[in-house]
Chains A and B, each alone.
Chain A
């Protein structure tokens, strides 16, 4: 056996600890302020779940309003406030921090560093984000998560500055998280060609965060100074330019949509070998896919506002083909996962494990949401039914909820025995799993259908067209199914922490593996 293979096999059991009631042992003070990496990760995970609950509650509220045409109980102002806070809280407060927190938890194990370097920076990142969330919930601005200027400068309300400041704080918080990740990846002592894929994922994530977030911070500051009247960068009526805004915001905004994606992919690369008891089908393909996605993510943002007649034609054309190229690294990842599953038997222990099921659901939705990128990138088709119809939320809800959200669930169910010392309830967990698969599938497909029927984004009220009303009603039903699944998940976590069966030493021990790799991975000496 070569040295590289040995390293791969050791890597499989990387993120493993002795199961114990860590959560019960930590006092509130320790949980909030301890610099232990597991305490920092747990705190962030729990906070992100609160954010998910809030964001979900907001979504259910406005989704109920959308079930029928006309305005029933929610006017435009509260509707758009909820929609904005839903988007911001889900992206900045749930998706990005929860997958980064799960990676904080796993990284020291994967990279064999045993600790998280720069915990103070991670703490600062956490608290700044908390402040941003608080400002958003109090201010409830109605300019959506993309804060499009000059619209975002002309919204009403005394508290709108809270939204701009929140954007600044989110930018700083994410930058600090990027610094922490970079520092910890650089703590890797082995050869670079042997660094676990979790390390490569975190290196990409760190680069994404460090390069893109300064632009978000600047956008927030300029929105504030424009709003105060000190500058006029983004308002054409006062000599500013929307192009300045669009290029600055989306230079952050396109990498930003990969900020939750990349850690979720890294978690999948970490957990898949753990459950299968064998290394990934191809290590090199994973590294190449991470690096290619990293580079491409900075040069595709123009597709968010394509075509733009004020730019040279080659600019449009370059962004179009670069956007299409995103297809290649994403497919490399999926290809690698499927090939790893296919190459040998799937142990019964993996099939029975809830995190594994959630991972399979995630791959399904990454395919369902990802393939349409092929259509979205094309300026011609985009100018028909795609640009800012429900087609786009269908695409990104499949990616964000179907893939990233479900990978977060896989990560939490995986870590659960390690921080409570107990096992979750199987039946509740399976009910959560199936409610989510059916609910998210129905939601994504109905949104695609509505998008194809030109249903506009961001509307509180809509015409009672036959192709719109039925789909909207069922979409609300699907949202409630997802909400019910979430409640079962929380009940499961809360109840099993006290009443669940005690976790064995290795809750995820691989059973009945006949493959050579599996035997070699077992601790036999």
Chain B
């Protein structure tokens, strides 16, 4: 299944780097403690190690920036990382646009005709869906695990996210990820994927 952030390959690499650094650190600690051979490290080694880390830091920043900006190129403004350059009208072709109202404690979804649905939103398999989300009480979050997407919602500002709906029909969890008061645990909704076929995207329809 395609993901809006397109993270699969990237996450694997970043996980590999993280695990490698962690294992190297723990192994070095174990060897320093239990391996009989003693080793006086040169100061130069630390400088080299810092340079390696510096490389990893720059790589992570560039990679994260590239991925998030590619994701934002599909979003109407305002966007976070790309600034005014984010919106790329040519690439944007959403199969469905949903307005979402997050409140203490639940979500209401309005479809393109303005019809409201509380705590469930219906989409077709594999669709590209834009959510324009608003909270007018407190800070909420919105997370769709199946679409691998999380966002934080500040009251007063409209926040847009987009996802690729899962290919398999079914009910997928939507949950609040920011503590928003006593009902936080109940602040859930469902992404209902229905229908067999993936609708043609609008971009394709318009040639």
Chain A's nearest CB lies how many Å from the CB of B62? 9
CB under 8 Å from chain B, chain A span 377-396? 377-389
Kindly state the separation between the CA atoms of A375 and B154 in the bound complex, as whole angstroms. 24
Residues in B whose Cβ lies below 8 Å from that of A460: 185
Complex CA–CA separation, A305 to B141 (angstroms): 11
Whether the pair B80, A285 counts as a contact (CB closer than 8 A) is no
Q: Which of B42-50, B107-115, B117-125, B196-204 contacts A (4 or more CB under 8 A)?
A: B42-50
Most buried by B among A336, A378, A462: A378
Interchain Cβ contacts under 8 Å between A and B, 21 examples: A76-B185, A150-B138, A154-B138, A305-B152, A310-B78, A332-B46, A332-B50, A335-B49, A338-B32, A342-B32, A344-B40, A374-B14, A379-B65, A384-B7, A384-B149, A388-B143, A388-B150, A453-B145, A457-B177, A458-B184, A459-B184
Binary B-proximity of A362-376 (CB < 8 A = 1, otherwise 0):
011001100110110
Q: How far is the CA of A295 from the CA of B175 in the complex (A)?
A: 36
Is B102 interfacial (CB-CB < 8 Å)?
no
By the criterion CB–CB under 8 Å, are A317 and B65 in contact?
yes
> What are the nearest 3 A-B pairs in CB distance?
A307-B80, A313-B83, A459-B185
From A76, A242, A462, B182 is in contact (CB under 8 Å) with A76
Chain B hits for A372, CB < 8 A: 18
Q: Which residues of A contact B71 (CB under 8 A)?
A: 380
The answer for the CA separation of A199 and B151 in the assembled complex, in Å, is 42
Q: Which residues of B contact A380 (CB under 8 A)?
A: 5, 7, 10, 63-64, 67-68, 71
B31 interface hit (Cβ, 8 Å): yes
Would you call A344 and B38 a contact (CB within 8 A)? yes
B168 at the interface (CB under 8 A from A): no
B29 located at the interface, meaning its Cβ lies under 8 Å from any Cβ of chain A in the complex: yes
In Å, the complex CA distance between A356 and B104 comes to 49
**Pairwise interchain contact B61-A320, C-beta atoms closer than 8 A:** yes
- Flag whether B97 is at the interface (Cβ < 8 A): no
- Given A381-B7, A456-B176, A463-B173, also A242-B65 (CB < 8 A): no
Mark the stretch among A116-124, A322-330, A422-430, A502-510 that contacts chain B: A322-330
B69 nearest in chain A by CB position: A313
Closest-by-CB residue of A relative to B19 is: A371
Q: Is the CB of A371 within 8 A of B151?
A: no
Chain B CB within 8 A of A454 CB = yes
Query: Beyond A237-B137, A305-B152, A332-B50, is A367–B29 a contact (Cβ under 8 Å)?
Result: yes
B57, A150: Cβ atoms closer than 8 Å: no
Task: For A311, list chain B residues within 8 Å (CB).
Answer: 80
What string of 1s and 0s marks CB contacts (under 8 Å) between B1-33 and chain A?
Answer: 000010100110011011101100110110111
Across the interface, name the chain B residue whose C-beta is closest to A360.
B33
Tell me the count of chain B residues lying within 8 A, CB to CB, of chain A: 77
Interface residue from B25, B65, B81, B188 paired with A334 (Cβ < 8 Å):
B25
Shortest C-beta distance, B11 to chain A (Å), equals 6
With contacts A307-B80, A343-B39, A375-B18 taken as known, whether A381 is within 8 angstroms of B11 at the C-beta atoms is yes
CB neighbours (8 Å) of B183 from chain A are 76
Q: Are A378 and B64 in contact (CB under 8 A)?
A: yes
Contact A328 B63 (CB under 8 A): no
- Kindly list chain B residues whose C-beta atoms are within 8 Å of the C-beta of A462: 185
For B123-144 the 0/1 string (1 means CB < 8 A from A) is 0000000000000111101010
14 more CB-based (< 8 A) A-B contacts, given A335-B49, A457-B177: A144-B179, A150-B137, A154-B137, A313-B83, A317-B81, A320-B61, A320-B64, A342-B41, A367-B29, A374-B60, A375-B14, A378-B60, A382-B150, A459-B185
In the complex, what distance in Å separates the CA atom of A459 from the CA atom of B181? 10
CA distance A206 to B200 in the complex (A): 61
Cα distance A345–B36 when bound, in Å? 8
Q: Which residues of A contact B185 (CB under 8 A)?
A: 76, 456, 458-462
* Cα separation A148 to B135 with both chains bound (whole Å): 15
Residue from A321, A332, A387, A459 within 8 A of B61 (CB atoms): A321
Query: A residues within 8 A CB of B148?
Result: 384-385
Q: Is the Cβ of B80 less than 8 Å from the Cβ of A316?
A: yes
B149 surroundings in chain A (CB, below 8 A): 383-384
Per the bound structure, the CA–CA distance linking A399 and B31 in Å amounts to: 22
Whether, in the assembled complex, A228 has its beta carbon less than 8 Å from a beta carbon of chain B, the answer is no
A339 touches B (CB below 8 Å): yes
- Residues facing B in A217-253 (CB within 8 A) are 236-237, 241-243, 246
Q: How far is the CB of B160 from chain A (nearest CB, A)?
A: 8
CB of A310 within 8 A of CB of B21, answer: no
Residues in B whose Cβ lies below 8 Å from that of A155: 181-182
A371:B143 contact, CB within 8 angstroms: no
Judge whether B50 and A456 touch: CB under 8 Å: no
Q: Does A309 contact B (CB under 8 A)?
A: yes
The chain A residue with its CB closest to the CB of B30 is A364
Bound Cα distance A311, B39 (Å): 49
Expressed in whole angstroms, the minimum distance between the Cβ of B119 and any Cβ of chain A is: 14
A202 to B145, CA, bound (A): 43
A53-88 near B? 1/0 per residue, CB < 8 Å: 000000000000000000000001100100000000
Interface string of A439-473 (1 = CB under 8 A from B): 00000000000000110111111110000000000
Which residue of A is nearest B38, CB measured? A344
Contact B43 A282 (CB under 8 A): yes
Closest Cβ of chain B to A84, distance in Å, is 10
- Nearest chain B CB to A435 CB, angstrom units: 20
Give the residues in chain A near B14, CB-CB below 8 Å.
Answer: 374-375, 378, 381
**Does A308 have its Cβ within 8 Å of any Cβ on chain B?**
yes
Distance, CA A154 to CA B104, complexed state (A): 11
Known: A242-B155, A317-B81. A374 touches B26 (CB 8 A): no
Cα A163 to Cα B38 with chains together (Å): 53
Residues on B with C-beta less than 8 A from A384 are: 5, 7, 11, 148-150
Report B-chain residues with C-beta under 8 Å of the C-beta of A35.
none
A434 contacts the other chain (CB 8 A) = no
Q: What chain A residues lie within 8 Å of B17 (beta carbons)?
A: 374
Chain B residues near A381 (CB-CB < 8 A): 7, 10-11, 14, 64
| A387 and B141 form a contact (CB under 8 A) | yes
CB pair A335–B31 under 8 Å, yes or no, is no
Query: Interface code B44-88, partner A: CB below 8 Å = 1, 0 otherwise?
Result: 001001100110111011011101100100000011111100000
Q: Closest chain A residue to B50 by CB distance?
A: A328
Docked Cα-Cα span, A483 to B29, in Å, equals 27
The answer to whether A285 and B179 touch (CB under 8 A), given A320-B61, A331-B53, A380-B67, is: no
Instruction: Looking at the assembled complex, report how far the CB atom of A397 sits from the nearest CB atom of chain B, in whole angstroms.
Output: 16
CB of A319, distance to nearest CB on chain B (Å): 11
Closest to A84 in B: B179
Which residue of the partner chain A has the closest CB to B17? A374
